[in-house]
Structure formats: C-alpha cells, structure tokens
C-alpha cells in the first residue's frame, strides 16, 4: 500500500503536471471512487478553475484552485498519477482532468480502491510524519496502552506511516514493536522520530520507496541485516510485523 513517500512523489507529479493550468473538464463518472458525488458534480465545481497548488498531508493529496474548491485524492492500495492523452481502454482511469492546453492527467487504479472528492478531507488526521515536531510526535505517539507499532499506524495520531515504514523505523531505533506506547521514554521517542524521518527521506530519493530500506529488504529472509540474528514475526496492530529478537528490546542497539 502506498505510504507517505509514494504520496509525496505523487504530489510532486501533480505539481509538475497540473499547477498553473486551467481545467477544461473533469471526467468523474466513476461513482465508487468519487463517492458520495454524483457524475458531473466534481466537474461542475472545478471546470474553468486554474490549479494553484498541489498539497499533501500523510497519504492524502489535494489540488487547490483559484475558485476556492479543492480536489482531494487518495491513491488507495495501488493508484498512481499519470499523464494520459487518451482514457485507459480498460477503464482504469478512475478520475481524470483535461486542461485547456489539451493535456490530461488521470488517477489510474486497477483495483478501484482510490478516492476522489471535493475538499482535502484531512480533518481526521494527526500531524504529518515528515514534518511533525519532536514535542508533537511525543504527544501523538507516546501515550496509550496500544503497542507502539499500532500507534504509529494510527492515522489519527500520526499521518502517513504504513506497515513497512513503521517496521523500518522501529528496527533502526531498536524498539520492540510490541511495547506499549506509553512505556517509551522521551529520549526513545525522540530517537524513533529521527529514525522515521530518516527512513522517509531515504524513500523519497529517486531510487527509494517504502519497503526498500535495509530492514524491509532483509526481513523476509528471517535474518537481521545488522547483527545477523533471528527475526521475530507476529501480527501487531492488525499487520504482519517483523523485529530483531536480539536488538529490539526497548532501547537503541
């Protein structure tokens, strides 16, 4: 599933392809992806507007326009932003914007799990995982009896972290994903934030992405890439989770 780095790369793509252009038409006939809007409703709101900015918070994207309307987008499990002169022959362009210069940009999604709606739709989200301050991170993450891995995955606490980024950051920080969040000391939470931001920045590189870090690439082999020890495996926060049984015992290795 796309995580914050994939969403940020999509935002940059939207910025490159859309900002400064006037909307001639929005193809919004997919009633599932565009729910609760009726066909033509998004088009009516955005037609004639100029796109002024592309925003992102966590995994959520949006386009701002000079009319004041926003087009909120979410990539779902496998959506992508594509410049496509013609509609996908298989109907996989779930919503598309045609501009006055005749360029066309689509949210392409084979699985139909993406979303498009008027408004950014981010009121339910916690602070963004890339820009969160140390104090805000400690307040958001360091409380409650839930495992720290589950707390990281809670988008209402911290926006943008998915399963792969969470495992990578916890491994780098040397923290057991099963520990109750409230048991972590402030210095541990500070280290975890630093490791998370480092993992995100690495994933934002052209060759990077969620799941391409040292731990994510090695975890399926069952061996810690740092100490060569055994990896534990369990379901934490509803997601399959891996950790080093030697090093992730509460502190940094």
The DSSP secondary-structure symbol of 99 reads E
pLDDT category at 252 given cuts 50, 70, 90 is very low
Judged against a pLDDT cut of 60, whether residue 251 lies above it is answered with no
Specify the pLDDT at position 98: 98
Mean pLDDT value across residues 171-178 = 96
**How many domains is the chain partitioned into structurally?**
2
Specify the pLDDT at position 89: 82
181 vs 37: CA distance, rounded Å: 39
Specify the pLDDT at position 1: 63
Residue 197 within a domain: yes
Model confidence pLDDT, tens digit, residues 59-102: 999 999 999 999 999 999 899 999 998 888 888 999 999 999 99
- Is 32 found in the same domain as 76? yes
Specify the pLDDT at position 90: 86
Q: Which structural domain, as residue segments, surrounds residue 146? A: 134-244
The 10 Å Cβ neighbour count of residue 124 is 9
Those residues whose C-beta lies under 8 Å from the C-beta of residue 118, and which sit 6 or more positions away, are 37, 41, 42, 45, 69, 70, 71, 72
Model confidence pLDDT, tens digit, residues 11-44: 999 999 999 999 999 999 999 999 999 999 999 9
Residue 126 within a domain: no
Judged against a pLDDT cut of 70, whether residue 55 lies above it is answered with yes
- Is 160 found in the same domain as 94? no
Residue 251 within a domain: no
Residue 125 within a domain: no
pTM above 0.85, yes or no: yes
- Is 66 found in the same domain as 20? yes
- Is 143 found in the same domain as 205? yes
- Which residues are known to be catalytic? 2-3, 59, 239
Question: Six-digit token pair at 126?
Answer: 């916690």
Those residues whose C-beta lies under 8 Å from the C-beta of residue 49, and which sit 6 or more positions away, are 22, 23, 65, 66, 67, 69
Distance (Å) of CA 199 to CA 98, 122, 140: 36, 23, 19
* Residue 236 DSSP SS3: strand
Residue 141 within a domain: yes
Closest C-alpha to 214, from 199, 234, 193 = 199
Residue 151 within a domain: yes
């Amino acid at each position: 599933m796309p995580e914050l780095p994939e969403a940020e790369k999509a935002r940059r793509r939207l910025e490159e392809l859309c900002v400064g252009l006037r909307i001639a038409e929005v193809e919004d006939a997919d009633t599932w992806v565009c729910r609760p809007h009726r066909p033509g409703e998004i088009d009516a709101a955005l037609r004639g507007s100029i796109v002024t900015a592309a925003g992102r918070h966590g995994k959520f994207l949006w386009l701002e326009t000079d009319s004041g309307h926003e087009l909120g987008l979410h990539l779902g499990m496998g959506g992508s932003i594509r410049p496509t002169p013609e509609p996908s022959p298989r109907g996989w362009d779930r919503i598309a914007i045609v501009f006055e210069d005749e360029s066309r940009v689509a949210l392409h999604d084979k699985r139909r799990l993406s979303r498009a709606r008027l408004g950014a739709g981010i009121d339910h989200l916690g602070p963004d995982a890339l820009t969160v301050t140390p104090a805000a991170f400690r307040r958001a993450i360091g409380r409650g009896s839930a495992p720290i891995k589950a707390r990281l995955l809670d988008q209402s606490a911290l926006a943008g972290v998915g399963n792969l980024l969470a495992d990578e950051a916890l491994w780098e920080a040397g923290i057991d994903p099963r520990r109750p969040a409230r048991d972590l000391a402030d210095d541990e939470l500070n280290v975890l934030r630093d490791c998370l931001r480092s993992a995100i920045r690495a994933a934002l590189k052209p060759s990077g992405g969620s799941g391409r870090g040292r731990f994510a690439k090695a975890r399926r082999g069952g061996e810690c890439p740092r100490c060569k020890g055994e990896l534990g495996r369990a379901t934490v926060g509803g997601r399959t989770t891996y950790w080093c049984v030697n090093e992730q015992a509460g502190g940094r290795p």
